[in-house]
A and B are shown apart, each in its own frame.
Chain A
Amino acid sequence: MLPAHKKIQQTNTSSKKVMLSFVIRDELEPRHRAGINSLQYDPLTNRLYSAGRDSIVRTWDCKNLDKPYLQSLEHHTDWVNDIILCCGGKNLISASSDTTVKVWNAHKGFCMSTLRTHKDYVRALAYARDLERVASAGLDKAIFLWDINTLTALTASNNTVTSHSDNVKALIMNRDGTQCLSGSSDGTIKLWSLGQQQCMVTIRIHKEGVWALAAPESFSYVISAGRDRRIYKTDLRNTSNTTLITEEQNSVLKICPYPDFSGIWVSTDESNINFYSLSERSDASEMEDDCDLIPITPPKATIEGAPKIKKYHILNDKRHILTQDSQDNVSMYDVLQIKKIEEYGTVNFEDLVKEKFKMMYIPNWFSVDLKTGEITFHFVHYQFLMINLGQEENDCFSAWVAGKDVGLLNPPDQRVNYGCLLLKALLEHWRYTVMEDEKEEISKDQNSGNASTYSAIGTLQIPQYIPMILTEVGNRTLYRVIVRDCGGQSETHILNETIPDWIRETLILKKSPKFIKISFYLLPPNELLTKNTKKDKLVANDFVQVQKIIEHVSEKLCGSENSGTTYPSVASNSEKINPFVQENQASLLESIEILCNDQILDPNLELRTVKYHIWKSSTDLTLYYRINKCGIHFSQKN
């Protein structure tokens, strides 16, 4: 398996790249963060199961609504779109946008199996109780039928689901299967007779899409809700008889009734789950649609959710992130520590961003995702891409920083790579198997004496409960594992198979990633960039400081040890300058100024900062040097 497997990965450059991600979160997340797509109620245990957009299915105790949280079923990596309780409440089936369908032990709360047949988001599940079969349907236009007991796919059928002109988002069937109710995005609810294959009644009360339906088995009435936030109860025998139960604060995604319909649990696209009582309603007054005074019944009980992050801003040091959540609280997170480091309360986000501005530039080495309501960081590395500053490419290994900035104990001038550090910390526990050809390379390296530059550096301290996810770029999740569990046998095995080359090279072969280079022109004052001067293009690492360029210029002016070319235009002046220089070389260093776009540069600035913040263009950086004879030199700001 091992060498052959590696070869396939190498030659398959067109196959999808694997990226590594993790989520910044607490160890225990007892509350939903984002909306809740689906609810299931188990009357036997009086438990409510909720499928969250934060990828977690949670279990709640309905008997004890003060502290209802029971457990979290965490394994999905993207929105959980639908859940079904089956086998008398023993098993829970979940369908997620990470393209998988998972089967859980509902009572104990662990994942028993993952079904990976879908190629796109899996959006809906349907349950045939008497047969113990579940159907899963997804955006890849495929419907798979599963036998729960054996967990085998009964028919891997590719049914093309013809798309309705108005999407049908809610569908329920009565007990005998003779009728069904559908709620559509055009706001109508239709009652269908399946025997006659036609629509019997159309209910038009909602102004926007109907996303949730609930009806007792007798189909005597229907409770409907959707994008317009209102929950209506309509008598199916006399459809003009409509009651407004209440109006939610957000669009309603799912209604889960108690079997006796004494009350309904309602989930929305925010994280609270509300319970409304139905039996206490005494009036059946008809409500007009445009009545402004709608008495909004508050929920009888609420399972509170947590706020979700709505906005983020990555600071220029590419390490700290400012976020604002749905309750307007602003916080700061640190990528390298993988945790929240500060909370600011409800301050103005834009102002804080401006306040935290620092004149520096580090390339983008990660990307951020907010789809689960928390921050997910994604890291990827493309080996064959030329990385140029100013492009939007995110290269995990592009952030080279001075060691002292990271707070590691090592020589202060040594450069460290953020990506390498982080990967090393995340996969610390992984006992990787070194493959055959890797062994060769390592021994080669050791023989030639190319010791890695960073193996001597300390390791970052990160929380051990962080979940790490390996995904194919473009959505399919390959594996999810907690940092501290990487050492386990099965985990190690799976990691061996899934970890991509670009991580292996850095961790196992200890190959130091390349420095990012910037090319630029350094011209004497007032000289234009012509074909002649263009030959003298210089290249330097992007983190080189302007001070180094000043030193370079002074060397050139002195015409000293470097046998490289001296600047033609300077040569003519060298006779004049030389005597001056020989007397006072130190002061020459101080009187040289480097300019970019007619702005004098602080010697402490890094080249990449100059290119990004001052030059700002994608053409080659052009710097000019001059000698400030007056002796007034740039005062260095720290």
Chain B
Amino acid sequence: MTVLQMRGTDEETNQPPQKKRRLSRLQSEDTRQSVEAWVASVNNITSVDRFQMPAAPDTMVNGYGLNDTFQQVHVQRSSEENGYSDNVSPIAPLLNLGNTCFLNSVLYTLRFAPSFLHKLHHLNSDSVTFMKQLNANKQDRTYSLGRNLGKAGCWSSKDSFLSVNSCTEMKTQTVISKLHHLYSSLSVNELKDRMEPFQPNFFLHALRDVNPIFEGNQQHDAHELLVCLIDIIREACELLYQQNSLMERPTPPSSTSSAGSTLKSVMRKSLSKIIRSDKRTGCLRENHSEGDIKKCLMNGDSMNKEETNLYSEEHNLNQNTLFEDFRGVSSLRTTCLECEQITERKETFCDICVPIQTIENYDDKKAVDELYKSIIVTEEYLTNCNKYWCEKCYRYNEAKRCVKYERLPRLLTLHLKRFSSGFGSSVSKVNEHMPTPFTLSCFCEECLEIERTDERPHYYSLYAIIMHIGATIASGHYIAYVRTSDSTQDCLFCTRDKPKTSSLSRGSSINLICNNSSIIDKSSTGLSKYFCKLSSKSFNGGSGNSNSKEQDVRNRVTPTCKSLDCCSVRVRCISNSDHDSNQIWLECDDETVRILSSQELTEMLSPTSSKNSALTPYLLFYARVDS
């Protein structure tokens, strides 16, 4: 029943796979039994071959075969529970280009990370503007100096550090813009109701340019890709920040006071260190990036004040950038038990590696919180043969070493250690169940001092899970589970793109993601179907002036940035009282996206179901919520 697809190179002319429609209507008991049998056999698979998907895009049939089977399973359930017509996906799906489910799952996840799209939009537009300026400058320079500046490396000392990396910089920028373009296209697809799967090959090529590890058609580790992407984002943010301060352009809302040459040099040093290490390793594999910020000595409780100030300044200046959302700071503290001197080392991280641990009472929220806290915030004693060399005592003494989290990122990623390190060697997967809480208490240092969890200023809420099925990292399949959220708040009050009076038409119109009162009006065409009846209380209604026209104008003048139109997610959903607006979960399995209820998801995450299916949570994504 498989139909070979002739894929055109033009991403716009892709035909939806015909067979999907046919298979999705299978509801017979026989099929279900055979499927279940298949799933059971999947769990027993030890050989990796079954999941190897070797090939060039032309032989996608194999890839389809795999997805095919899964589709049967998933569609089976969903068609019973949700009464939606299964030929329409709630969001624009992504196509699997051949072992690219690792890519698709990460792309889906990032799309639904709160405020990610909005910030990405601005990062992209800033970077593009900046690159144009750079090129313009470069040309100017060529003309004005009259020297042969053929090489990209001939910059003046002011931009000297650029010279080494201008190629890398271009590539980084390309990745960012391709990513933005991808999301933008998805948004356009949703707008135009075109639900055929989108091919992310432009983005993939740009990514491969920066990091050749992703060449070829091999399956990769989703975590590795995530780390790579976040690193690219970091580079883009830092370059932009550097250039802002150097070029003295009007800066984005986060202030860039000229914090002195020391700050710049600190950033430059860390930047160059990170760039160098990138070239060496290609991609950051560990969960700590190479940014070793400070090593400072603490005597008693008093920190080295200078260093904290410098550090926090650097951190404050970058508050609003996209990278900051992912970046956290951990500190490793060693206390000599003899002289009680504390030595501290701070490190930045973009995700936390969590060893697998099962507990009995997986649904007890407190116990789960405790579990996570105890395996992440760790403490060990250096004793016996493993004593610590204390510089003050000039000898080996016992010491206590602990890892604490000074600052957790707004978007926290937990990487479950399902595979032992040793990429490439055949390692077995740890399939043990680990509870996946929907909300997680914060374990940053400040919060840990507050005993009662409900008195803490914030907590973390799960917005995405990437699950993995398969025997090793490099084979198998990834599926992303994401939660939709209302992202208009970011865009509404963002002052980046101040609407000019002439362009009131589109730029300032309000688009809202649908709430559960039915919004989608299929009969209307074009843009208007996304308008909803605005209640006047959602906007500053103005001061009693009953002139509705004026009110209209005022409404339209509420600042909105362009990202809302450009790349935001438009979820189409059916009115269904079961779906709470904030709890719409989507299961994104390459081209197949369907809605899940949170109960369904909870069931999937429970240990009973994990014995039957081979899907295990691999990456957990949390967003900080103020309580």
Q: Which A residues are in CB contact (< 8 Å) with B394?
A: 369-371
Which of B301, B383, B385, B398 contacts A474 (CB under 8 A)? B385
Q: Which A residues are in CB contact (< 8 Å) with B340?
A: 185, 208-209, 227
Q: How far is the CA of A167 from the CA of B396 in the complex (A)?
A: 18
Asked if A371 and B393 make an inter-chain contact with CB atoms under 8 angstroms apart, the answer reads: yes
Which of A120, A185, A209, A369 contacts B384 (CB under 8 A)? A120
Does B249 reach chain A (CB closer than 8 Å)?
Answer: no
Q: Chain B nearest CB: distance from A473 CB in Å?
A: 11
Interface residues of B in 307-344 (CB under 8 A from A): 337, 339-340
Asked if B381 and A251 make an inter-chain contact with CB atoms under 8 angstroms apart, the answer reads: no
Q: Chain B nearest CB: distance from A310 CB in Å?
A: 8
Q: Closest chain A residue to B392 by CB distance?
A: A269
Q: Chain A nearest CB: distance from B303 CB in Å?
A: 15
Q: Closest chain B residue to A185 by CB distance?
A: B340
Q: A207-B300, A371-B394, A371-B395 are in contact. Are A163 and B384 (CB under 8 A)?
A: no
Q: Interface majority SS on A: helix, strand, loop or mixed?
A: loop
Q: Which A residues are in CB contact (< 8 Å) with B300?
A: 207-208, 227-228
Q: Chain B nearest CB: distance from A501 CB in Å?
A: 23
Interface residues of B in 332-364 (CB under 8 A from A): 337, 339-340
Q: How far is the CA of A228 from the CA of B339 in the complex (A)?
A: 11
Asked if A139 and B339 make an inter-chain contact with CB atoms under 8 angstroms apart, the answer reads: no
Does A140 reach chain B (CB closer than 8 Å)?
Answer: yes
Interface residues of A in 165-195 (CB under 8 A from B): 167, 185
Interface string of A358-381 (1 = CB under 8 A from B): 000000000001110000000000
Q: How far is the CA of A227 from the CA of B383 in the complex (A)?
A: 22
Interface size class of B (residues with CB under 8 A): 10 to 19
Q: Closest chain B residue to A226 by CB distance?
A: B340
Q: Closest chain B residue to A308 by CB distance?
A: B394
Q: Which B residues are in CB contact (< 8 Å) with A140?
A: 384
Q: Closest chain A residue to B385 by CB distance?
A: A474
Q: Which B residues are in CB contact (< 8 Å) with A97?
A: 395
Interface size class of A (residues with CB under 8 A): 20 to 34
Q: Which B residues are in CB contact (< 8 Å) with A475?
A: 396
Which of B383, B393, B395 contacts A139 (CB under 8 A)? B383
Q: Closest chain B residue to A309 by CB distance?
A: B394
Asked if A167 and B337 make an inter-chain contact with CB atoms under 8 angstroms apart, the answer reads: yes
Q: Which B residues are in CB contact (< 8 Å) with A209?
A: 340
Q: How far is the CA of A475 from the CA of B397 in the complex (A)?
A: 12
Interface string of B462-486 (1 = CB under 8 A from A): 0000000000000000000000000
Asked if A251 and B339 make an inter-chain contact with CB atoms under 8 angstroms apart, the answer reads: yes
Q: How far is the CA of A140 from the CA of B398 in the complex (A)?
A: 11
Interface string of A57-87 (1 = CB under 8 A from B): 0000000000000000000000100000000
Q: Closest chain A residue to B335 by CB distance?
A: A185
Q: How far is the CA of A120 from the CA of B396 in the complex (A)?
A: 11
Interface residues of A in 468-513 (CB under 8 A from B): 474-475
Q: How far is the CA of A272 from the CA of B393 in the complex (A)?
A: 17
Q: Which A residues are in CB contact (< 8 Å) with B384?
A: 120, 139-140
Interface string of A235-251 (1 = CB under 8 A from B): 00000000000000001
Q: Chain A nearest CB: distance from B448 CB in Å?
A: 14
Q: Chain A nearest CB: distance from B382 CB in Å?
A: 11
Q: How far is the CA of A17 from the CA of B409 in the complex (A)?
A: 49
Q: Chain A nearest CB: distance from B378 CB in Å?
A: 14
Q: How far is the CA of A228 from the CA of B395 in the complex (A)?
A: 22
Q: How far is the CA of A228 from the CA of B299 in the complex (A)?
A: 10
Q: Which B residues are in CB contact (< 8 Å) with A370?
A: 394
Asked if B385 and A139 make an inter-chain contact with CB atoms under 8 angstroms apart, the answer reads: no
Q: Which B residues are in CB contact (< 8 Å) with A228?
A: 300
Interface residues of B in 352-406 (CB under 8 A from A): 381, 383-385, 393-396, 398
Q: Closest chain A residue to B379 by CB distance?
A: A165
Q: Chain B nearest CB: distance from A39 CB in Å?
A: 18
Q: How far is the CA of A340 from the CA of B171 in the complex (A)?
A: 63
Q: How far is the CA of A79 from the CA of B396 in the complex (A)?
A: 12
Q: Which A residues are in CB contact (< 8 Å) with B385?
A: 474
Q: How far is the CA of A30 from the CA of B360 in the complex (A)?
A: 65
Interface string of A384-411 (1 = CB under 8 A from B): 0000000000000000000000000000
Interface residues of B in 53-106 (CB under 8 A from A): none
Q: Chain A nearest CB: distance from B334 CB in Å?
A: 14
Asked if B395 and A269 make an inter-chain contact with CB atoms under 8 angstroms apart, the answer reads: no
Q: How far is the CA of A370 from the CA of B381 in the complex (A)?
A: 24
Q: Which A residues are in CB contact (< 8 Å) with B301?
A: 207
Q: Closest chain A residue to B337 by CB distance?
A: A167
Q: Which B residues are in CB contact (< 8 Å) with A371?
A: 393-395
Q: Which A residues are in CB contact (< 8 Å) with B339?
A: 227, 251, 269
Q: Which B residues are in CB contact (< 8 Å) with A120?
A: 383-384
Q: Chain A nearest CB: distance from B125 CB in Å?
A: 48
Q: How far is the CA of A21 from the CA of B396 in the complex (A)?
A: 17
Q: How far is the CA of A228 from the CA of B383 in the complex (A)?
A: 26
Q: How far is the CA of A139 from the CA of B387 in the complex (A)?
A: 11
Q: Closest chain A residue to B395 by CB distance?
A: A371
Q: How far is the CA of A207 from the CA of B300 in the complex (A)?
A: 8
Q: Chain B nearest CB: distance from A52 CB in Å?
A: 14
Q: Chain A nearest CB: distance from B104 CB in Å?
A: 46
Q: How far is the CA of A464 from the CA of B209 in the complex (A)?
A: 72
Q: How far is the CA of A369 from the CA of B396 in the complex (A)?
A: 11
Q: How far is the CA of A97 from the CA of B397 in the complex (A)?
A: 10
Q: Closest chain B residue to A34 by CB distance?
A: B394
Q: Closest chain A residue to B396 by CB distance?
A: A475
Q: How far is the CA of A167 from the CA of B340 in the complex (A)?
A: 10
Q: How far is the CA of A227 from the CA of B337 in the complex (A)?
A: 12
Q: Which A residues are in CB contact (< 8 Å) with B381?
A: 163
Interface centre among B301, B340, B384 (most CB of A within 10 A): B340
Q: Which B residues are in CB contact (< 8 Å) with A163?
A: 381
Interface residues of A in 116-140 (CB under 8 A from B): 120, 139-140
Interface string of A194-234 (1 = CB under 8 A from B): 00000000000001110000000000000000011000000
Q: Which A residues are in CB contact (< 8 Å) with B393?
A: 371
Q: How far is the CA of A475 from the CA of B301 in the complex (A)?
A: 32
Q: Chain A nearest CB: distance from B6 CB in Å?
A: 51
Q: How far is the CA of A217 from the CA of B394 in the complex (A)?
A: 37
Q: How far is the CA of A139 from the CA of B397 in the complex (A)?
A: 10
Q: Closest chain A residue to B302 by CB distance?
A: A207
Q: Chain B nearest CB: distance from A95 CB in Å?
A: 15
Q: Chain B nearest CB: distance from A80 CB in Å?
A: 13
Q: Chain B nearest CB: distance from A163 CB in Å?
A: 7
Q: How far is the CA of A120 from the CA of B337 in the complex (A)?
A: 15
Q: How far is the CA of A370 from the CA of B395 in the complex (A)?
A: 8
Interface residues of B in 567-601 (CB under 8 A from A): none
Q: How far is the CA of A269 from the CA of B339 in the complex (A)?
A: 9
Q: How far is the CA of A227 from the CA of B340 in the complex (A)?
A: 8
Interface residues of B in 443-469 (CB under 8 A from A): none
Interface residues of A in 429-475 (CB under 8 A from B): 474-475
Q: How far is the CA of A227 from the CA of B300 in the complex (A)?
A: 9
Q: How far is the CA of A369 from the CA of B398 in the complex (A)?
A: 18
Q: Which B residues are in CB contact (< 8 Å) with A208?
A: 300, 340
Interface residues of B in 393-446 (CB under 8 A from A): 393-396, 398
Q: How far is the CA of A163 from the CA of B393 in the complex (A)?
A: 22
Q: How far is the CA of A157 from the CA of B383 in the complex (A)?
A: 20
Q: How far is the CA of A474 from the CA of B395 in the complex (A)?
A: 12
Q: Chain A nearest CB: distance from B391 CB in Å?
A: 11
Q: Chain B nearest CB: distance from A313 CB in Å?
A: 15
Q: How far is the CA of A140 from the CA of B385 in the complex (A)?
A: 10
Q: How far is the CA of A185 from the CA of B301 in the complex (A)?
A: 12
Supply 12 further A-B pairs (C-beta < 8 A) apart from A79-B395, A208-B300, A369-B395.
A120-B383, A139-B398, A163-B381, A207-B300, A227-B300, A228-B300, A251-B339, A269-B339, A370-B394, A371-B393, A371-B394, A474-B385
The 7 A-B pairs at the shortest CB distance, nearest first, are namely: A371-B395, A370-B394, A371-B394, A208-B300, A209-B340, A227-B340, A139-B398
22 contacts between A and B (CB under 8 A): A79-B395, A97-B395, A120-B383, A120-B384, A139-B383, A139-B384, A140-B384, A167-B337, A185-B340, A207-B300, A207-B301, A208-B300, A209-B340, A228-B300, A251-B339, A269-B339, A369-B395, A370-B394, A371-B393, A371-B394, A371-B395, A475-B396
